[in-house]
Amino acid sequence: MPKAIISLTAVTVALLAAVAGGGDTTARCAPVPSMTAEEACSAVCGTDHMRSLCHRTLLPPRRRVAAAARRHAVTRYISAAARVALDAYAATAAAKRVTEYSAAVPADERTAHERCIDGYDLAARFMARLAVVSVSGDVARSGCDAAARRRVREDFEGCLDGMDVCRRRLFGYPASPLYGRNLADRNMTLLVALLSNLVISPAPAT
């Protein structure tokens, strides 16, 4: 019996050491940053076009004044932008269905549209995950959520891949109504990816 107690103590000591070691790791893990929408847009957007897309997305006119001053965890901006992207994908898929009824669209272009929308289906699956993104940044409570951060990266890369699948298919059809839509949807997807980067490699806390 005393032997059992000793080995239990040894296990407990080992566990405590592991927890303490883990504590060192989590201490180096930056929390999910909080900022205003304006700050988030400035932090991630390199062009005026992207910045204005970002403002339109995160600060819809109806709520602009009230919303602009508030700071939120950036995960909130990722999910808000992801929902807008999903709406844009749905609108493009609807535009594609309209082309199915047009006799003027040649067969090869129809095939290109089908393949393009395969890319959208792929992108939408990943984007739906970003719309409910959850990354714990509370170091004290649950530590560095490395797995969640990795998933965020996989998700936005999947979205960008899906947009590129479509773009490659439409390359020979610049007059297609889907062509311009895809360029705009890709920019929207890029915005989600840029915002997502804020949780993957957060700036050091200030």
Closest CB to ligand NAG among 136 and 187? 187
| CB nearer to ligand NAG: pick between 116 and 135 | 116
Binding flags for ligand NAG, 25-54, as an x/- string (CB under 6 A): ----------------------x-xx----
Q: Least distance from C-beta 42 to ligand NAG, angstroms?
A: 15
Q: Would you list the DSSP string of the chain?
A: -HHHHHHHHHHHHHHHHHHHHHHHHHHTSPPPPEEEHHHHHHHH--SHHHHHHHHHHHS-GGGHHHHHT-EEEHHHHHHHHHHHHHHHHHHHHHHHHHHHT-TTS-HHHHHHHHHHHHHHHHHHHHHHHHTT------HHHH---HHHHHHHHHHHHHHHHHHHHHHHHHTT-TTSHHHHHHHHHHHHHHHHHHHHHHHHSPPPP-
Shortest Å distance, C-beta 130 to ligand NAG = 19
Give least dist CB 11 to ligand NAG, A.
56
Q: How far is the CB of 183 from ligand NAG (least distance, A)?
A: 4
Nearer to ligand NAG, 90 or 183 (CB): 183
10 contacts ligand NAG (rule: CB under 6 A): no
Scanning residues 167 to 206, which ones bind ligand NAG (CB under 6 A)? 183-184, 187
Residue numbers of the site for ligand NAG (CB under 6 A)?
A: 47, 49-50, 183-184, 187
